[in-house]
Structures are given as C-alpha cells and as structure tokens.
Amino acid sequence: MGIPHRVVYWNVPDHAWMYLPFAILCIVFAYGVWRRWRVWATGRRMPLRPWGPRLRRLLSHAGLQSRVVRRPLQGYAHLALAVAFVLLFIGTVVVALKADFGLPVMQGAFYLWFESATLDAAGLAGIIALAIFLVRRYALRPSALGRELPDFLVPFTLLIILITGFLLQSLRIYATHDPWGAYSFVSYGLSALYAAWHLSTPLALIIHRSLWWFHLLLAFSFLGAIPYSKLFHLFMAPVAILLSDPDGATKLEKLDLEHSERLGANMLTDFTVKDLIDLDACTECGRCEEACPAFASGKPLSPKRLILDLREHAHERPLEPLTAAIEDETLFACTTCRACMEACPVDIEHVPKIVGMRRFRVMEEGEMPTGLAEAVQGIEERGHPFRGAQASRTTWMEGLPIREWQPGETCETLLWVGCAGAFDPRAQKVARALTQLLLAMGEDLKVLGRRESCTGDPARRAGQEYLYQMQAEENVKTLKDVAPRRIVTMCPHCLHQLRDEYRDFGADFEVVHHSEYLQAALVTGRIRAAAGGRRITYHDPCYLGRYEGVFAAPREVLKAAGGDVVEMAHHGPDSFCCGAGGGWAFREEGVPRVNRLRAKEAVATGAEVVATGCPFCLSMMTDGVKAEGGGEVEDIAEILWTQVAPEVTAQG
C-alpha cells in the first residue's frame, strides 16, 4: 500500500481550467475589499496603544468567541462552524501546496489523521451547525433574525458546499477502492452506500467530475460574495474586536470644540476608522436589538437597523450627510444604556456613534426633543436639570449635622450629592439616609452645597458637548480647590463623570459609589446592621453596572442588611435599563414605557422590595413598580440605614 496519500485531481484531467475562475474570484474579491477599504480610509485615525488589552480581547472574543457562546445552542454551533472552516481552509492550503508547489505535505500519518479524519469531522460539525442555524431561523423564527434572500443563501450555499465535498470524497474512495478511505469516516460510510446500490464505476466517474466543477464554482462564488455580504464579518469581526476600545467605550470622546470642522458626526469622515469598520463587521445576529430597551418599548430605534442603515449609506451614498440616513427620532430614542454593546459578539460600538450624530443635530442644527431641551437649558441657566425645583442645593440636609465646605478648609470625605439628591424630593431621602450612614461611620463629611453644579452628564449624552465641557471644567476647578481625600456619590452618572470622563479635564480624584463605600465599611465593621429578612431584588443601574463595572458591592450591602436577594431575569451585565438614561429622565415617554417592562421583571421575582443604587432608576422604578402592583422601591442606602439605625440608637 505504500505511504498513505491520495492523488490530487485524480479524475479531473482538465483541472488547469480552474485557474480561470480563480483569477476572476481574485479580481472580484479584491474589488469588493477595495470598495470597502476606500470607505474605512476616510475615517478618523484613533490611538491604538496599548495593544495588550486589545490582543487579549481579540483572543477571547474572536478566538474563543466568548460572547457568541453566551447563547449556548447557536453560540457553540457558530464556534464549531468557525473552527471547521479554519481546519478546512488549512486542509485546502495543504492540497494546494502539494498540487501547485509539489511539496510532499499530504501523506503519511498527517494525511490519515488530519487531511482525512479531522477534516471529515470538521465537515460533519459544519453541516450540523448549519442545520441548527437554518432550523432556528426558519422553524423557530426569532424576530431579531432577518429572513431575506441573502439570509437563506449564505447558510444554504455553505451547506451545499460541505455536502458536495463529502460526495466528491466518497465517490473517489468508491471508484479508487482507496485503501485508506476508512479514515475519511463520513465519506467512507457514503461509499459503502454506493456499493450497496451497485453504482457503476464509469457513472461514478462522470458524477464525480461534474460534481467537482460544481463544487469548485460554488465555493469560488461563495468566496467572491464575501466582501459584498454580511459574510465579510469573517474578516472584519476580528478587526472590529481588535480596534474596540479596551475600556468598553464607556467614555465618550472629548470633542475639540475650537478646531473641529464640524461639531459631531454628519459625514462618514466624522466617524473613526473603527466606527466605519464596525459597519462591515455586523453579522446581523440581532442580539443588540433583543437587548435594546428603546426597541423593546416600540421606539424608532433598533441598534442593528442603525448599523445596517449606516452601512448602506456608507456604500451607496458615501458623500451625503448622515441626516439622510438616520432620523433624529432614532438617535434621541437611545437611552445610552450600552446593552447593545454588551450583547454584540463582535464589539460594535453603537453608543459613541449615536452620541456623535446627536452632537451634530444638537450643536450644529439646534435640534433637541422637548423636555430634554428644557433640562439642558436648566443646566445652562441654573446648574441643574430639574425644572420647577422647589429646593435649593442645601434644602435636603436641613437638620442634619453636616455643613458646606468653606474655602481654606481641608476635606476628608466629600459627599457629591448630585442634582437628583438635592432637588428631587424622593432622592433627597436617599441623600439623608446616606448622610446618616456616613455620620454613623464617624466620617468627617462635607458637601459642596451651592458650589456643586451638574456634572453635565445629561447634556453630554444629549449631544450638548459645549455645555458639558463648561460644566466639567468648572466642576474640576472647584474640586481641585477643595482637594478632598475621597469623593462619595450616590449617583452613578456623577460617578462615571467624576471618576472617568473628567480625567480628560485634568481630574484625578478617588471617587466611589456609595455602594462600594458602604460595603467596605460593613466588611471592616465600621457599621453594623441589625438582622433584616426581607426578600429584595436589585436593579442594576446601567451607569453603575455596565459603565462602571460595579455589580457585587450593592448586592453585598443588601445581604449585609439581612436581605434575601433574588435576581430578575436580566441582571448583572445583562441588566435591562429603567428607561431614564440618555436624557429620557426628563422627557415624556410614550406607551409602553421602558420602566414598565423592567418593573414587570422586578415584580415577577416576588420580592417585597426593589432595590437600586441610582436616583434616576429609583424614580423610574418607583413609577413602574407601582403601576405593576409591586412593593416598595428603595435605594440601598435607605435599606441599610433602616437596619443600621437601631444599632446606632442601641449604642447610644
């Protein structure tokens, strides 16, 4: 039998003709890539260092497909298909090395165990995966998946390529009585069927040769279609992952207001290279759409549609303004909750694009939805977004033994109350509970009072970067004067600004959310809580969880307060927005409201109390839970203070 091998092009004497369609494929492919390249090339360059986190994410998200497999059935099917095609590609290269370059690489044990057995297993896995995809899309019919012609052609063509591959191999094994055929176990099984059917050898040869050309031309057509379809994600998804912001793009880019040709994005050239590559990396899997609170509540925004509309615009009308592609209503529907970005398997960054386009609409065109415009005007005129507030910055603290910081004083712990804590009657109670907890811990506590002003976060998310920057500069200046040892805040939006986004304005302060600070105090025994026993579910505020990565601390505080913590269907990084983000806290919302959708989940847990750690979530969840017939909604500080107060009293 000699060294195990097979003869390439065994039944295709005129195989040299294949270089003609191959040349056409190369030209078509190259043109397709160039078409897209010329769009990417117009994008703004962005910094790439440090590479370490980017490469780690590439390995995790592209190599191991860690986000894809969060949905196990289709996720592992996708991973299997991807691995199968990498193996089949290597197998094809090995064939080319032997056939075109005469290298003796396709023989011996390698031939038997890789080229035969492994590739058969890969082909079989690919067929199973594709069958799962087709059944899911066309039998289970999830709404997030499209069912246009290309959605069918892509998996179906791949399936035919794999099936014809097995047919070719089995016909060869049958006709040549291949002594090593059994290693190709799938094809070998098929060849046994031909024997059972008494397939004549001449007929087998004719079928083989015809099928060989069909398989080849179909495979070349498929490859040629890659740069013209969503298949391009094979190449662009890893690039999009590699270029994605290592910090998850939670920080918005600081806009150069003085020197920017345009404020915000309205032409493709206003986007970064990453933004433009994202458009071609989209696999249309629909996970962003499924996670989007705006889409779930019937607003005119689907993150997937947004990316696809931008992709179409980029390739069909690249020189036209983006106002022609994306409506204002779509942009202002976004709550900036980042659920889409967290769900995206290929790290497409939706929110920075949306805010970028909002910036143009707001700052260059003067467009802003009613309610939001008034809130932003409030920040401009009186330093807070709450219209008609009956309180001053210090009303909430009347009767409490704390005072405003005065120039010349040192400051150990600064409580950054936030506008909600100061002006919203419900959040004022949270500020009082938190203050009492901090005083019970013996903190040397001060507040800024009249010197505190809105961080500008609602303005920035709305697209009013100019006002935001003025607020940021003023606040950083104030905080540098105060120079607190640490800042504690009860507002995740303020936290995100003070801790992260203000760094672009020279801030470098120790800033903690009250949940983190209270948890640490409980661990070190600075405060003790009496036994509780209520069943509590915790709503993760987007700006605390997905933006700041704080998931455990609030839950630990609730447990320390004796709570029996139960989780909602969506929690942790997969949490569902309350509907307040992106300036929606100040707008009139249609029906169904996002907070009702979230409140339904909370009520379904059977919890007596819905806890949260954000004054805006508190407000939205209070309305939602009340409408859904649920129990109390409280901030973690209130829940803890209820359990700590008796201990403080007992100690005298």
Q: Which secondary-structure segment (H or E) carries 416?
A: strand 413-416
Q: What angle do CA 210, 216, 218 make, to 5 degrees?
A: 100
3-class state of residue 302 by DSSP: coil
Tokens of 160: 């035919």
Tokens of 242: 């590699």
Q: Which one-letter amino acid corresponds to residue 43? A: G
Nearer to other proteins, 90 or 391 (CB): 391
Nearer to other proteins, 82 or 422 (CB): 422
Give the shortest CB-363-to-other proteins separation in angstroms.
4
Q: What angle do CA 267, 271, 272 make, to 5 degrees?
A: 150
Give the shortest CB-525-to-other proteins separation in angstroms.
40
Give the shortest CB-437-to-other proteins separation in angstroms.
27
How distant, in Å, are the alpha carbons of 82, 106, 193, 234, 461 from that of 128?
Answer: 12, 27, 21, 19, 45
Most distant pair of Cα atoms in the chain: their distance? 101
Nearer to other proteins, 188 or 332 (CB): 332
Buried b (16+ CB within 10 A) or exposed e, 154-171: bbebbbbbbebbbbbbbb
CB 306 within 8 A of CB 276: no
Give the shortest CB-329-to-other proteins separation in angstroms.
17
- Tokens 């907070």 belong to residue: 595
Nearer to other proteins, 148 or 258 (CB): 258
Its sign, for the CA torsion 384, 387, 393, 396, is negative
CB 432 within 8 A of CB 645: no
Q: What CA–CA distance (Å, rounded) separates 648 from 515?
A: 19
Nearer to other proteins, 183 or 360 (CB): 360
Nearer to other proteins, 227 or 383 (CB): 383
Q: What CA–CA distance (Å, rounded) separates 377 from 5?
A: 77
Q: Running DSSP on this structure, what letter comes out for residue 201?
A: H
Give the shortest CB-38-to-other proteins separation in angstroms.
30
Beta bridge partners of 229: none
Give the shortest CB-258-to-other proteins separation in angstroms.
8
Give the shortest CB-467-to-other proteins separation in angstroms.
8
CB 149 within 8 A of CB 157: no
CB 640 within 8 A of CB 529: yes
Q: What CA–CA distance (Å, rounded) separates 355 from 306?
A: 13
Tokens of 180: 């090593």
Q: What CA–CA distance (Å, rounded) separates 188 from 172?
A: 10
In 10 A of CB 284, how many CB atoms? 20
Give the shortest CB-367-to-other proteins separation in angstroms.
7
**For the purposes of burial, counting CB atoms within 10 Å of the CB of 5, is it exposed (0-12), middle (13-18) or buried (19 or more)?**
middle
φ/ψ (deg, to 5) at 485: -70, -40
Q: Which secondary-structure segment (H or E) carries 108?
A: helix 108-110
Beta bridge partners of 416: 489
How distant, in Å, are the alpha carbons of 91, 410, 428, 449 from that of 405?
Answer: 71, 8, 19, 8
Give the shortest CB-218-to-other proteins separation in angstroms.
55
Q: What CA–CA distance (Å, rounded) separates 390 from 649?
A: 32
Q: Running DSSP on this structure, what letter comes out for residue 116?
A: I
Q: Where does this chain bind other proteins (CB under 8 A)? A: 257-258, 263, 362-368, 373, 378, 381-383, 387-392, 395, 450, 464-466
Nearer to other proteins, 177 or 259 (CB): 259
CB 556 within 8 A of CB 636: no
Give the shortest CB-352-to-other proteins separation in angstroms.
19
How distant, in Å, are the alpha carbons of 168, 204, 287 from that of 209?
Answer: 8, 9, 43
Give the shortest CB-628-to-other proteins separation in angstroms.
22
Nearer to other proteins, 492 or 582 (CB): 582
Give the shortest CB-392-to-other proteins separation in angstroms.
5
Nearer to other proteins, 163 or 389 (CB): 389
Q: Which secondary-structure segment (H or E) carries 564?
A: strand 564-566
Nearer to other proteins, 157 or 377 (CB): 377
Nearer to other proteins, 102 or 366 (CB): 366
- Tokens 């120790």 belong to residue: 510
Nearer to other proteins, 200 or 395 (CB): 395
> Read out DSSP for 221-265?
HHHHHGGGSGGGHHHHHHHHHHHS-TTTT-SPPPP-TTT-SSSS-
Nearer to other proteins, 209 or 382 (CB): 382
Give the shortest CB-398-to-other proteins separation in angstroms.
12
Nearer to other proteins, 397 or 542 (CB): 397
Strands 445-447 and 413-416: parallel
Nearer to other proteins, 286 or 583 (CB): 583
Nearer to other proteins, 151 or 374 (CB): 374
Give the shortest CB-391-to-other proteins separation in angstroms.
6
Nearer to other proteins, 343 or 372 (CB): 372
Q: At what angle do helices 72-101 and 119-135 cross, to 10 degrees?
A: 140
Give the shortest CB-406-to-other proteins separation in angstroms.
15
Give the shortest CB-465-to-other proteins separation in angstroms.
8
Give the shortest CB-464-to-other proteins separation in angstroms.
8
